[in-house]
Amino acid sequence: MKIIERLVTVVFSILLIGTFTGCGKESNTPDYTLLQPYIIDVEEAELPNSGIISLGEATHGNKDFTVLKLEVFRQLVEQSDIRAFALEGDFGGCQKVNQYIRTGDGSAAEAAAEIGFAIYRTEEMTALLDWMREYNTGKQEKDQIRFYGYDMQRYDNNKEELVVLLGQVLPKLAVEYEDVLSGISDDTMFDLDKSTVEKAIPQLEVLDGKLESQKDTIVAEIGEKEYDMCRALSACLLQNTRLRTANNYGTLRDGYMAEHVAWIYEYEMKYFGAEGIFITGHNGHIGKSTATVGTKKSMGQILNERFGETYYAVGTEFGSSRFLAPDSSGERREFSIENKGDGRLAVLLAQSEKASLFLDLDAAAQDNTLFAYLERPQSMSSIGEYFSDIHSLSEKGYTQRLSPLKSYNALIYVRAASPSTMLE
């Protein structure tokens, strides 16, 4: 999903040479029976009914984690007033998805394609969107589900949405945005020369300043809610442009994503009276600690530092996984992983007879033995957008070293994860 992940693939390939043996049993590993009292079925989990509730995914290419998005979010909708769903997708593109689930115009497949990344063009995602659309039918706006994206790595939909809004009140400013970005689009952004990007950044900063100075005019004509949306769209355009030449891409991107999640949380509270939102993304982004190569602070760590206990993170793990991911040639194909190693939480949980389960880490940590085990860093599954056969040869190629307890409040385990079903 981003340049840094291609670089990580190369780094892993170098590090894995000569390290093809897996990790053995770690000392002080508790017996599985100690975990049993804290294990329940996913549908029985009692999640917070306010704040920022996040759900991670151990891979981007498993259908199970998309199905979990729907299952967990549906529980929140049924048990609380949370109606905001936000994922690791393009902010402007997800505004088009929001239009679909509220109006029904178009199709779920077309809406999924607007999210901005191929990982969402799946049958599982369209099923999620169709459920949202059906839920919204006949309901007032306040009671409807609202769909957001908190990523900023695309141009076209952010530009289009902003120009449409500004065209209603400040058409000249809308044209200025179009002029500055005339040669910058989703199709060209990876091939832009440095000088083009460096020229666009100060121009977009000036336009964003004009937008801020025209707040009273915009609010008077189309409302404060639409003004706030304009500011968020403008921020995405500027942030994406800064990313084009950034040396700290991962760190900068996670920081921007944290800003957008906070914006969504406050926007929902301000305009819909909502006390919470649901967000979902890769484990490496939603976790409260940081283990991703090239990222100083993850989005989840930033949100946890800012919101404290108001931020609740649920990670995911698997016993085995058959998943889809682009290889080094860019071709999306199936890979498979089986988690091993006696000391790992993934292997302990495999002793359960359940196909999936919910482990309450916060509750389990009340046991002194489990606290020591769960607080200690260990290998946990983490597969990004790109993968290669060499990654599967060593545990280091498909895991990150982190503390389960410091990263998540709870963990959902899937015994055997299946590949996503891509749309044709």
pLDDT tens for each residue of 241-282: 999 999 999 999 999 999 999 999 999 999 999 999 999 999
Is the pLDDT at 6 greater than 70, yes or no? no
Task: State residue 312's pLDDT score.
Answer: 99
Q: Based on the fold, state whether residues 141 and 8 are members of the same structural domain.
A: yes
Task: State residue 346's pLDDT score.
Answer: 98
Question: What backbone phi and psi angles, to 5 degrees, belong to 280?
Answer: -145, 150
In this structure, what CATH number is given to the domain that contains residue 51?
3.40.1660.10
Q: Based on the fold, state whether residues 157 and 140 are members of the same structural domain.
A: no
CA-to-CA distance for 163 and 159, rounded, in angstroms? 6
Q: How many independent structural domains does the chain possess?
A: 2
| Residues of the chain above pLDDT 70, percent | 94
Task: State residue 36's pLDDT score.
Answer: 98
Mean pLDDT in residue range 126-142: 97
Let me know if residue 299 belongs to a domain.
Answer: yes
Q: Based on the fold, state whether residues 165 and 85 are members of the same structural domain.
A: no
Is the pLDDT at 18 greater than 70, yes or no? no
Mean pLDDT in residue range 9-26: 43
Residues 6+ apart with CB under 8 A from 287: 56, 298, 300, 301, 313, 315, 402, 407, 408
Q: Based on the fold, state whether residues 160 and 133 are members of the same structural domain.
A: no
Let me know if residue 423 belongs to a domain.
Answer: no
Q: Based on the fold, state whether residues 381 and 289 are members of the same structural domain.
A: yes
Residues 6+ apart with CB under 8 A from 327: 333, 386, 387, 388, 389
Q: How confident is the model at residue 150 (pLDDT cuts 50, 70, 90)?
A: very high
Q: How confident is the model at residue 1 (pLDDT cuts 50, 70, 90)?
A: low
Let me know if residue 269 belongs to a domain.
Answer: no
Mean pLDDT in residue range 103-121: 97
Is the pLDDT at 155 greater than 70, yes or no? yes
Q: How confident is the model at residue 19 (pLDDT cuts 50, 70, 90)?
A: very low
Task: State residue 28's pLDDT score.
Answer: 79
Q: Based on the fold, state whether residues 285 and 228 are members of the same structural domain.
A: no
Task: State residue 2's pLDDT score.
Answer: 46
Would you say the C-alpha torsion 251, 257, 261, 263 has a positive or negative sign?
positive
pLDDT averaged over every residue in the chain: 94
Q: Based on the fold, state whether residues 114 and 231 are members of the same structural domain.
A: no
Q: Give per-residue pLDDT as tens, 280-289.
A: 999 999 999 9
Distances (CA, A) of 268 to 143, 144, 203, 258, 272: 12, 12, 30, 15, 5
Mean pLDDT in residue range 157-164: 99
Let me know if residue 321 belongs to a domain.
Answer: yes
Token reading at 75: 């529980």
Q: How confident is the model at residue 21 (pLDDT cuts 50, 70, 90)?
A: very low
Mean pLDDT in residue range 62-76: 99
Q: How confident is the model at residue 27 (pLDDT cuts 50, 70, 90)?
A: low
Task: State residue 25's pLDDT score.
Answer: 45
Is the pLDDT at 220 greater than 80, yes or no? yes
Q: Based on the fold, state whether residues 402 and 285 are members of the same structural domain.
A: yes
| Residues of the chain above pLDDT 90, percent | 91
Q: Based on the fold, state whether residues 189 and 166 are members of the same structural domain.
A: yes
Mean pLDDT in residue range 320-327: 98
- Domain with 206 in it: 152-243
Q: Based on the fold, state whether residues 86 and 172 are members of the same structural domain.
A: no
Q: Based on the fold, state whether residues 109 and 44 are members of the same structural domain.
A: yes
Let me know if residue 394 belongs to a domain.
Answer: yes
Is the pLDDT at 131 greater than 50, yes or no? yes
Q: How confident is the model at residue 17 (pLDDT cuts 50, 70, 90)?
A: very low
Q: Based on the fold, state whether residues 10 and 40 are members of the same structural domain.
A: yes
Distances (CA, A) of 252 to 50, 237, 303: 28, 14, 14
Mean pLDDT in residue range 306-318: 99
Which position has the token pair 């679909």?
Answer: 100
Length of the chain: 424
Task: State residue 342's pLDDT score.
Answer: 78
